[in-house]
Amino acid sequence: MYGVSTRVLVKDVQVNRRILIDWNLDDQPTEVEWRFEARGKATWVEIFNRGFPATDEGVKAALNAMEGFTLVLAGAKLWLERAIEPTFIVDRFPDQVLPDWKG
């Protein structure tokens, strides 16, 4: 859709509990930890993204990452629980969609 990709190193997977990765390996890598906790018929998901530099650019990168993960979680919830295909990313960045993308 956008021609965007990144290299990721999977460091740990604990089924139904945790995924730990190094994200964006080629450009200012950070560590991302996804934690999953069963709560009755639901699952609580937390994402921790660590390793941003303590600079204005680091703060900006952390906020952008938070926005991205928030969109992913909200979209996953809609898709998994309601069978609705969300268009959050297209709606958020309509001018960046590649012309030959078929969605």
pLDDT in tens, 2-13: 677 889 999 999
pTM, 2 dp:
0.80
Q: Is the pLDDT of residue 62 over 80?
A: yes
**Which amino acid, one-letter code, is at 46?**
E
pLDDT at res. 102? 66
Q: According to the model, what pLDDT value does residue 2 have?
A: 66
| Mean pLDDT within 37-43 | 95
Q: What's the confidence (pLDDT) of residue 11?
A: 98
Domains of the chain, first to last: 8-96 (3.30.530.20)
Distance CA 1, CA 102 (A): 8
Cα–Cα distance measured from residue 6 to residue 26, given in angstroms and rounded to the nearest whole number = 8
Answer yes or no: is pLDDT of 99 > 80.
no
The pLDDT value recorded for residue 1 is 60
DSSP 15: T
Spatial neighbors of 47 by CB under 8 A, at least 6 apart, are 32, 33, 34, 35, 69, 73
The overall average pLDDT reported for the chain is 90
